[in-house]
Amino acid sequence: MFRWVLVVLLSAAISLPFLSVEAQNQPQKTHGAGMSAVPPTENVFPPMPASGKRVPLEEGYYFVYGFDKKPKLGTVIMKVEIFAKDGKKVTSYEVKGDCGMPSMRGAHDTGDRAFKVSKNGDYLLPIDIVMPGGWEVRLTVLKDGKVVFRGSHPFDV
């Protein structure tokens, strides 16, 4: 019994320095309005304004996002529309999305998938909802291969 306790304590003592270094290297989550200022090297997805609201991109460009219907079990389509300063739709950006359940990270995540551009200039991504609960979509918008925006939208099913 004493040997077993000694082994457990030594294992914990050896791993503690590594755990503290690992915790220091984790990205810091930010919340609030600074969402377009996320450097491309960081993998941080701040919360976005509610669906249907304008989300600023760069130099006066903005986008509006939403679902084709209220999310429920099955497939829903996320739609993103990107607009120039003058209000005209543009399709010169690349939009990627990743969807999953934050409480079960990795279990149902789709991985980064590219939105397809429709003939109407809408960016579309089908999302398969496989169980009820809290879900999150993480969007990445790129221009000429460079990340100009990252944001997340939580939703319940």
- The pLDDT value recorded for residue 17 is 45
Among the four given CATH numbers 3.40.50.450, 3.40.50.970, 2.60.40.1930, 3.30.2270.10, the one describing domain 48-156: 2.60.40.1930
Average pLDDT over residues 20-26: 42
Q: For residue 39, is pLDDT > 50?
A: no
pLDDT of residue 13: 46
> Rounded to whole angstroms, how far apart are CA atoms 131 and 109?
12
Q: Which residue has the higher pLDDT, 117 or 24?
A: 117
Cβ-contact 100, 116 below 8 angstroms: no
Side chain identity at residue 91, one-letter code: T
Q: Three-class SS of residue 89? A: strand
Average pLDDT over all residues of the chain: 80
Would you say the pTM of this structure is higher than 0.75? no
Domain boundaries, the chain: 48-156
Across residues 71-75, what is the average pLDDT? 94
Amino acid found at 54: R
In this predicted model, which residue has the larger pLDDT, 102 or 16?
102
Give the pLDDT score at 42: 62
Contact 139, 95 (CB under 8 A): yes
